[in-house]
Chain A
């Protein structure tokens, strides 16, 4: 016997809130992407807990796809961040991209 399912779900909810907080507050594109990773991880915790509660492997199969999505998202997102950094010299999401481009042109 492990713990009630409620506690597993609550843990995943707390993790999700932490990831959302990170995404909303940090002024840094890398940290925003990191917050999205935390949220995806929280979702996989919820899926594994549900798989154990209902004794089905469907939840674990979905976690595998979450892993694939996370890897895809990180590779494309980081490539975009590097492209933005080389173009504008900053990874602050508040920077006015259009002004910078006009200034460089």
Chain B
């Protein structure tokens, strides 16, 4: 057990606990905040596994942007909690069965991998090397991804605008 492996198991336990807490929370705000904790853990894991640039991106995009967007929407929607509907059994039982089946198949699949027991050698991909690699080999994919982000931006704008026009028209008709 080196320091790195102790750190790995600590971070893995942190991620699993935080994600379990997030999945089982009744209050969505708490769920999102536990998930932020889980994403911080994932960022630490990325750093440990030799991807410091991705660790920074994980914090900035996942924990920073996406989760804050979730928080905004949750506070905007402000739904009332219905007491009896948490984990209804007709959804819980198939989900448990599917999860158990999936886990069993996954463990069987992983245990057939003969080379998986060799400890990983520590290595780091520095941000500069990573950027050079990315733009040498995947420049077209980056262009496509940025176009996709633009499309998503326009789609979100249109989805919001339609609603506003409809409510505006309804407000005009009412008086």
Return B127 CB to nearest CB of chain A, in Å: 11
Roughly how many angstroms separate A14 CA and B100 CA in the complex, as a whole number?
Answer: 11
Chain B residue at minimal CB-CB distance from A63: B54
Q: A2-B48, A48-B46, A71-B149 are in contact. Are A82 and B118 (CB under 8 A)?
A: no
Interface residues of A in 1-20 (CB under 8 A from B): 1-11, 13-20
A64 to B156, CA, bound (A): 22
Give the interface SS of chain A, mostly helix, strand, loop or mixed: helix
Interface size on B, residues (CB 8 A): 88
Check A52/B35 contact, CB under 8 A, given A3-B8, A25-B87.
no
Mask of B37-58 contacts with A, CB within 8 angstroms, 1/0: 0110010011011110110011
Contact of B73 among A8, A14, A15, A81 (CB under 8 A): A81
Q: A-side interface residues toward B, CB under 8 Å?
A: 1-11, 13-22, 24-28, 30-31, 33-35, 37-38, 41, 44-45, 48-49, 51-53, 55, 57, 60-61, 63-65, 67-72, 74-76, 78-83, 85-87, 90-92
Hey, which bits of chain B sit against chain A, CB under 8 A? 2, 4-5, 8-9, 12, 15-16, 19-20, 22-23, 28, 31-32, 35, 38-39, 42, 45-46, 48-51, 53-54, 57-58, 61-62, 65-66, 69-70, 73-74, 76-77, 79, 85, 87-88, 91-92, 94-96, 98-99, 102-103, 106-107, 110-111, 113, 115-123, 125, 129-130, 133-134, 137-138, 141, 145-146, 148-149, 151-153, 155-156, 159-160, 162-163, 167
Task: Report 9 cross-chain contacts, Cβ distance below 8 Å, ordered by A residue.
Answer: A2-B122, A3-B5, A6-B111, A9-B116, A33-B70, A34-B70, A49-B120, A75-B69, A82-B163
